[in-house]
Amino acid sequence: MQHFRTLDPAEQERLFFLAPEHFDAGSDPLLLAVGLGATLYSPANRADLAKGVLKQTAAGCLSTVLCLEDAVPDDELDAAEDNLLAALADLDARHPDELPLLFIRCRSAEQLLRIGRRAGEHLRVVTGFVLPKFENETSRGRDFLDAVAQLNTESGRDNAGAPLRAMPIIEDPLTTHVETRLGALQNIAALIDEFQEIVLCVRLGATDMSSAFGIRRSRDLTIYDVQVVASAIGDVVNVLGRAEHARVISAPVWEHFTNSERLLKPLLRVTPFDAANEKELRQRILIDNLDGLLREIELDQANGLQGKTVIHPSHVPVVHAMLTVTHEQYVDALDVMSNAVGGVMASTYGNKMNELKPHRSWAERTLLRARAFGVARADVSFVELLEAGMR
């Protein structure tokens, strides 16, 4: 699979200085974790589940989660499991190039094992499992990871080059409440290190975090405006996202997708859209509530997060356009990586200072993102990438 593969070759050539790499479930885990990009959640009880997965993959969504947890009412759980298993069988009949990186979000370790075993040979289309309300104060986190490891052994995936992966979600009250957060996160870090061969990345459950305080942000605000949640995100990055550990932490969900009354003035500048002759695209972004998403992605990246959970297909091209590395970022990263002895130098673009040792970890992450999402040409703006993705 490859990001922006829906573009024709001539359009790719026009937009990209360096095209995104191809990758699959057996690729380098760090590249795979970064390459998840916009991870689209779908309830497992949805009708025509396999058809929906294929439709969104064809439109450019390369990672999908089929959810058996909060998205499914308790009294529909058995039917949702059957529906999901039927979808896996349907997807297994397809060509591998048609399939996304497919994950299943289960409520418990017991359900995870049950689904994996019932799937049988069709488990091969599953990349891994999402582990909700993950923590290590009780045995819940370990039980989840033991279950994934056990399925790897039972299915032979542990020695096949593409083991079933785990994506824990940090959203439990123990990690949300300040008095228990640090200890809980340190315990989670130790558990993740123990299972590092199968933990792909860590996800953030901002909806559950907000629920602990009876909060829901409006479309005019980002999650970083909600201080109690922003502080929790900051602590997760502080403990789990340190550069020496090379862990990927994915940004929380943006949950707005339909037009609603606007209270605050939009912050989306007019100039870049005028320059690209895309005034209508800017208006579409405002109507679809995507300007708030853009603002939040910018803050996600500033806070050390990569990728994003999304709940609507319209979010996918926005996330991927924002994850594409600009030519200026790429050149800066190459400059920083060109000298291991340190020092300071003016950037090639002549508009900033590159400090070679302090900026090295940033450069490494930027070059990894460039592999997954490509590098735009020097004269190509975010607006052009977004317009191409939203066609």
Decide which of 300, 324, 348 is a domain's last residue.
Answer: 324
pLDDT of residue 335: 92
Considering the domain architecture, whether residues 286 and 390 belong to the same structural domain is answered as: no
- The residues, any chain, with a CB within 8 Å of residue 174's CB and separated by 6 or more, are 135, 137, 180, 181, 184
In this predicted structure, the answer to whether residue 14 has a pLDDT above a threshold of 90 is: yes
Considering the domain architecture, whether residues 206 and 243 belong to the same structural domain is answered as: yes
Q: Give strand pairing partners of 308.
A: 38, 251
Stated as kind and residue range, the H or E segment containing 121 is: none
pLDDT of residue 262: 56
Could you read off the pLDDT of 225-235 as tens digits, one per residue? Answer: 999 999 999 99
What Cα–Cα distance (Å) separates residue 209 from each residue in 111, 131, 204? 24, 15, 9
Decide which of 282, 300, 324 is a domain's last residue.
Answer: 324
Distance CA 104, CA 259 (A): 30
291 or 147, which is more confident: 147
Distance CA 157, CA 255 (A): 34
Beta-carbon count within 10 A of 298 CB:
13
Q: Checking DSSP bridges between strand 202-204 and strand 38-43, what pairing results, if any?
A: unpaired
Query: What one-character-per-residue DSSP string does 231-247 give?
Result: HHHHHHHHHH--GGGT-
Decide which of 309, 324, 339 is a domain's last residue.
Answer: 324
Considering the domain architecture, whether residues 11 and 36 belong to the same structural domain is answered as: no
In this predicted structure, the answer to whether residue 96 has a pLDDT above a threshold of 60 is: yes
**Domain hosting residue 131, numbered range:** 27-324
pLDDT of residue 269: 64
Count: domains in the chain = 2
What is the CA 194 to chain-centroid distance, rounded?
Answer: 23
Could you read off the pLDDT of 270-281 as tens digits, one per residue? Answer: 666 665 656 676
pTM over 0.85: yes
Distance CA 112, CA 382 (A): 40
* CATH number of the domain encompassing residue 316: 3.20.20.60
Distance CA 366, CA 330 (A): 7
